[in-house]
Amino acid sequence: MRRKLDGLRMLITGASSGIGRSMAILAAEAGAKLLLTARREDRLEELLGVLHAKGCDARYVVGDITDPAHRQRLVERAESDFRGLDVLVNNAGVGAYGSFEDATPERLRTLMEVNFFAPVELTRLVLPILEKGTTPAVCNISSVLAHRAVPGKSEYCASKFALHGFSDALRAEVSSKGIDVILVSPSTTSSEFAAAVIEKRGKVPAKGKFVRTPHNVAVAALRAIRLGRHEIIPSKTGFAMILLDRLCPSLADWAVAKFGYV
Ligand SMILES: NC(=O)c1ccc[n+]([C@@H]2O[C@H](COP(=O)([O-])OP(=O)(O)OC[C@H]3O[C@@H](n4cnc5c(N)ncnc54)[C@H](OP(=O)(O)O)[C@@H]3O)[C@@H](O)[C@H]2O)c1
């Protein structure tokens, strides 16, 4: 379904940096009302100044997205401040580098909590109010690694594959209620993501040649929300890797083992 962002009420997680921050600025420029969240309050405060200067009706709630009480607070703020919600952007995410053999169970637990359980449980809480919203949508920021896994990021790939599968199933379940589910699968993006990984062990992936900016990804994601696209892969290298994987999986296995990741 096509939608205009003007006047829509959007909740964006992970808005303190990178793709989430860029999406907030672009959505504000398009006239959306914003409820933002992340853990770093100073970053959210700075962003709020930028958004208010653009005339945007924006506010934030600080907290850890893995905390059920925080997720509940977000829904309550959407109800109390905006009388509902039209678009949920599940963007908050975290990574880890290093082989699975060297990793602890806690690393797997953290990545699945942030990248999979938190967005899925937030979606569960938000769906009943989205149903009453205007041109409602859930936009999940996934990764090209949700289509083709690579070495040294096993838990991250697993968490994004899980989010991908959930998004496909949910899309089919809620389409009759008029809710779009949009999956955005970026490649390497020049955000704070690499610096924020919870662990760096062994060979740290080399920086890709064709790195996108958070702004590039945010433009593509908001376009997908406007057009009601089911899924987008906002980079040619990411698209090429997925295509290679589908057409010639053994060559793709060789390529990711040799070059790491895109
Ligand atoms: N950068 C890439 O190369 C790349 C590629 C493909 C997909 N992605 C995906 O894009 C999304 C955005 O990442 P980014 O590149 O913009 O990285 P980023 O700049 O590091 O942003 C990540 C955001 O997630 C928030 N966050 C992380 N853990 C959180 C937690 N436990 N509770 C609440 N918020 C949390 C961070 O805020 P606080 O630290 O303030 O809480 C931050 O706002 C992620 O889902 C990531 O997996 C990134």
pLDDT in tens, the chain (262 residues): 999 999 999 999 999 999 999 999 999 999 999 999 999 999 999 999 999 999 999 999 999 999 999 999 999 999 999 999 999 999 999 999 999 999 999 999 999 999 999 999 999 999 999 999 999 999 999 999 999 999 999 999 999 999 999 999 999 999 999 999 999 999 999 999 999 999 998 776 666 667 899 999 999 999 999 999 999 999 998 999 899 999 999 999 998 888 875 4
CA distance 2 to 212: 26
20 CB near ligand 1 (under 6 Å): yes
Write down the pLDDT at residue 166: 98
Write down the pLDDT at residue 202: 74
Q: Whose CA is nearest to atom 17 of ligand 1?
A: 193
User: Under a CB-based contact definition with an 8 Å cutoff, are residues 68 and 44 in contact?
Assistant: no
Write down the pLDDT at residue 256: 87
Write down the pLDDT at residue 258: 85
C-alpha 220 – ligand 1 centre gap (Å): 17
Catalytic residues: 156, 160
CA distance 13 to 36: 6
C-alpha 176 – ligand 1 centre gap (Å): 31
Write down the pLDDT at residue 259: 80
Structure-token pair, residue 20: 């989430």
Structure-token pair, residue 154: 């096993």
- Non-local CB neighbours of 16 within 8 Å, separated by 6+ positions: 38, 39, 40, 43, 44, 47
CA distance 97 to 219: 28
Q: How many degrees, rounded to 5, is the angle at CA 212 between CA 3 and CA 233?
A: 50
Q: Whose CA is nearest to atom 34 of ligand 1?
A: 38
Architecture of domain 9-259: 3-Layer(aba) Sandwich (3.40)
205 CB near ligand 1 (under 6 Å): no
Instruction: Let me know if 116 is exposed, middle or buried by CB neighbors in 10 A (0-12, 13-18, 19+).
Output: buried
